[in-house]
């Protein structure tokens, strides 16, 4: 998704407030898949992600007249989505056994330094070795490789996972990602560095050894 201009926002917003169905279809086509990806980075199942996105669109329709334009329209919608997804994730935690969530990382503190590029934490523990592939593009497009990336993303703390999804998967500008996540540019760089590094490690292990990251246990489900 490309960056929206103020003029684009104003024109689209006027059409949305006039209940222009084509404007809603345009907005849906522009943002829906990205919202699903962001929701899936927060909630435990695809079904709950769908629920979060549906609730988000309802909230957008109900609150369009109150949107003051302090951020871009897409940033406003992503913020609604993330808040709703976090609410639904909390609901799942309340209804699940406490043991199912006890092992889930609650934050980003994993013992690494906070500044990438300074000292050991800003560099690979070992320089990444070439994978020796005849066709790297084909390998990256393979279903198995994509599954490795998805599993690696699923193991990241939420903030890292969202940062990678918003910037690397959905291609949002850094400024928009900062606004959505309510972090500074330096903090976003830290989150991206850590998240990308862990995904790269998983890919290295898969390419060299053929092993994939373990899937985390399904969140939000009580263990019997």
Task: Classify residue 197 by its DSSP letter.
Answer: H
Mark whether 61 and 110 lie in a shared domain: no
> Residue 184: exposed, middle, or buried by beta-carbon count in 10 A (0-12, 13-18, 19+)?
exposed
State the pLDDT confidence band at 203, using cuts at 50, 70 and 90. confident
Domain count, the chain: 2
Mark whether 80 and 110 lie in a shared domain: no
Beta-carbon contacts of residue 43 (< 8 Å; ≥ 6 apart) = 49, 52, 85, 88, 89, 92, 219, 220
Q: Are 89 and 101 in contact (CB under 8 A)?
A: no
Question: Among 140, 157, 154, 109, which residue's Cα sits nearest to residue 207?
Answer: 140
Mark whether 138 and 112 lie in a shared domain: yes
114 phi/psi in degrees, rounded to 5: -90, -10
Structural domain includes residue 221: no
Structural domain includes residue 223: no
Mark whether 25 and 71 lie in a shared domain: yes
Residue 74 confidence (pLDDT) above 60 = yes
Mark whether 74 and 134 lie in a shared domain: no
Structural domain includes residue 173: yes
Instruction: Provide the CATH number for the domain around residue 21.
Output: 1.10.1740.10
Quote the domain boundaries for residue 202.
106-209
pLDDT of residue 3: 47
Structural domain includes residue 100: no
pLDDT of residue 205: 85
Entry pTM = 0.68
Mark whether 13 and 87 lie in a shared domain: yes
Paired tokens of 173 = 């500008």
Count of residues in the chain: 224
Task: Classify residue 120 by its DSSP letter.
Answer: G
Average pLDDT over residues 56-84: 92
Q: What whole-number distance in Å separates Cα of residue 195 and Cα of residue 190? A: 9
Paired tokens of 3 = 């960056």
Average pLDDT over residues 160-172: 92
Please, what's the b/e burial string for 144-154 (b: 16 or more CB within 10 A of its CB; e: otherwise)?
ebeebbebbbb
Q: Which of 32, 60, 95 is a domain's end point?
A: 95
Question: What digits encode the pLDDT tens for the residues 76-124?
Answer: 999 999 999 999 999 888 876 554 444 555 555 454 444 444 444 445 5
Paired tokens of 140 = 């990256």
């Amino acid at each position: 998704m490309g960056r929206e201009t103020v003029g684009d926002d104003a024109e689209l917003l006027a059409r949305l407030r006039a209940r222009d169905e084509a404007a809603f279809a345009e907005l849906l086509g522009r943002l829906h898949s990205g919202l699903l990806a962001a929701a899936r980075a927060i909630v435990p199942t695809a079904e709950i992600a769908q629920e979060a996105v549906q609730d988000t669109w309802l909230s957008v329709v109900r609150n369009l007249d109150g949107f003051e334009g302090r951020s871009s329209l897409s940033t406003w919608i992503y913020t609604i989505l993330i808040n709703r997804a976090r609410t639904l994730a909390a609901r799942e935690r309340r209804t699940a056994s406490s043991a199912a969530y006890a092992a889930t990382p609650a934050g980003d503190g994993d013992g690494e330094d906070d500044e990438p590029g300074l000292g050991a934490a800003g560099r690979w523990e070992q320089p990444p070795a070439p994978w020796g592939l005849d066709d790297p593009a084909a390998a990256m497009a393979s279903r198995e490789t994509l599954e490795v990336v998805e599993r690696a993303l699923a193991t990241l703390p939420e903030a890292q996972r969202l940062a990678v999804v918003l910037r690397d998967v959905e291609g949002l500008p850094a400024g928009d990602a900062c606004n959505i996540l309510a972090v500074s540019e330096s903090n976003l760089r830290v989150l991206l560095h850590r998240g990308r590094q862990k995904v790269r490690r998983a890919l290295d292990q898969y390419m060299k050894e053929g092993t994939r990251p373990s899937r985390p246990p399904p969140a939000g489900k009580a263990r019997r």
